[in-house]
Amino acid sequence: MSRSYERLPIRVFGDHLLFSGDLDPVYVALTGVDWHWKTLYQWLIAYWCFYSCGFASWVAGKDGRDFWGHMIIAAENKTLAPCGDRWPRGRERRHFRGEQGISTVRDLARVYGDQPYDMVRVILNGAPDYREVTRRVKDHRGFGPWISFKVADMVDRVVGQRVDFDEAAVFMFKDPVKAAFMYWNQQHDRELEGPVPTGQEEEIIHSVVAELIDYFAGHMKHMAPPRKDRLVNLQEIETILCKWKSHLHGHYPLFNDIKEIREGLEPWLPYASLAREFDKHLPKEG
């Protein structure tokens, strides 16, 4: 990946993410497809485990025990995938490997048996409270704090079951916190990655979130993708901050996620009709 691109101010960068669909391209694609809810739920389970849109699209249409059987084969990673490569594992789920990944899938198969989609139904019963949703997610082996946050976000934005997020819960992770501090330092003509005043951390996070919500929702009237059913809020600000931090460090050129997701999906297109349908609804690069 080339790092030689123009670094954009967070407002310009955030506008791009929201207009292009690159804020969360997976969410856009999933709300565009016309799948049975059981297929969608099984896609989500596979994605939460392996963080691969291609693999999730291939395995989501399998029935019951067949679904779990292929999930275990992928977790074991001893044979080649249908596309001829090793079974994929997104870097976001880098800890879902080896015995941890195998044991997790086996536990899920034991609990949910012929109805894999019941995992999502159990999680949904915790809505709309964020802490209850994430507690139910973390009851499953191999599902820690970060993936629990991601599950709650997808329950809200993809499944359409409202989840109430609070600022403290969202900003328990280091990347959005660091990005908020970087933005605050920038606004106050301080060293970008320098420390912020001790004892003012929570106040600074709150002020940054309020300022960015005021801009994206209040001034620009951006509606939250993919459903466009409310104004941009806390979850979207968290994503904008995280991606802007990567953008400043040279790891996130424009359309980065759209490009990476499509590249990971392409090897699976000949083998899964769900992958081809997903691809049709993925935002376009450029």
Binned at pLDDT 50, 70 and 90, residue 1 comes out as low
Binned at pLDDT 50, 70 and 90, residue 168 comes out as confident
Distance (Å) of CA 97 to CA 61, 82, 173, 180, 241:
23, 19, 22, 32, 28
- Residue 8 maps to a domain: yes
Residue type, 260: E
Do the Cβ atoms of 17 and 239 come closer than 8 Å? yes
The answer to whether residue 2 scores a pLDDT higher than 70 is: no
For residue 228, with 0-12 CB atoms within 10 Å meaning exposed, 13-18 middle and 19 or more buried, which class applies?
A: exposed
- Residue 140 maps to a domain: yes
Predicted confidence at residue 117, as pLDDT, reads 98
Same domain, 144 and 173: no
- Residue 274 maps to a domain: no
- Residue 157 maps to a domain: yes
Same domain, 3 and 16: yes
Same domain, 67 and 179: no
Instruction: Check 203, 211, 238, 285 and give the catalytic one.
Output: 238
Catalytic status, residue 132: no
3-state secondary structure of 231: strand
Among 135, 161, 187, which residue terminates a domain?
A: 161
Q: Tell me the sheet residues that pair with 231.
A: 223
3-state secondary structure of 251: coil
Question: CA-CA distance, 184 to 91, in Å (whole number)?
Answer: 29
Same domain, 41 and 135: yes
Q: pLDDT per residue over 43-67, tens digit each?
A: 999 999 999 999 999 999 999 889 9
The answer to whether residue 188 scores a pLDDT higher than 70 is: yes
The answer to whether residue 89 scores a pLDDT higher than 80 is: yes
Do the Cβ atoms of 120 and 44 come closer than 8 Å? yes
Among 146, 161, 176, which residue terminates a domain?
A: 161
Cis bond before residue 25 (omega within 30° of 0)? no
Same domain, 4 and 107: no
- Residue 221 maps to a domain: yes
The pTM assigned to this predicted structure is 0.96
Question: CA-CA distance, 232 to 215, in Å (whole number)?
Answer: 10
Among 142, 161, 180, which residue terminates a domain?
A: 161
State the residue range of the domain holding 238: 1-32+166-251
Q: pLDDT per residue over 102-131, tens digit each?
A: 999 999 999 999 999 999 999 999 999 999
- Residue 238 maps to a domain: yes
Same domain, 123 and 183: no
Across all residues in the chain, what is the average pLDDT? 96
Same domain, 46 and 134: yes
Question: CA-CA distance, 162 to 152, in Å (whole number)?
Answer: 9
Same domain, 202 and 131: no
Question: CA-CA distance, 244 to 194, in Å (whole number)?
Answer: 17
Among 137, 103, 78, 93, residue whose Cα is nearest residue 264: 93
Binned at pLDDT 50, 70 and 90, residue 97 comes out as confident
Do the Cβ atoms of 117 and 124 come closer than 8 Å? no
Same domain, 236 and 172: yes
Distance (Å) of CA 25 to CA 89, 132, 206:
18, 26, 27
Mean pLDDT on 80-87 = 95
- Residue 267 maps to a domain: no
Same domain, 143 and 65: yes
Report the number of distinct structural domains present in the chain. 2
Same domain, 122 and 83: yes
Same domain, 226 and 175: yes
- Residue 136 maps to a domain: yes
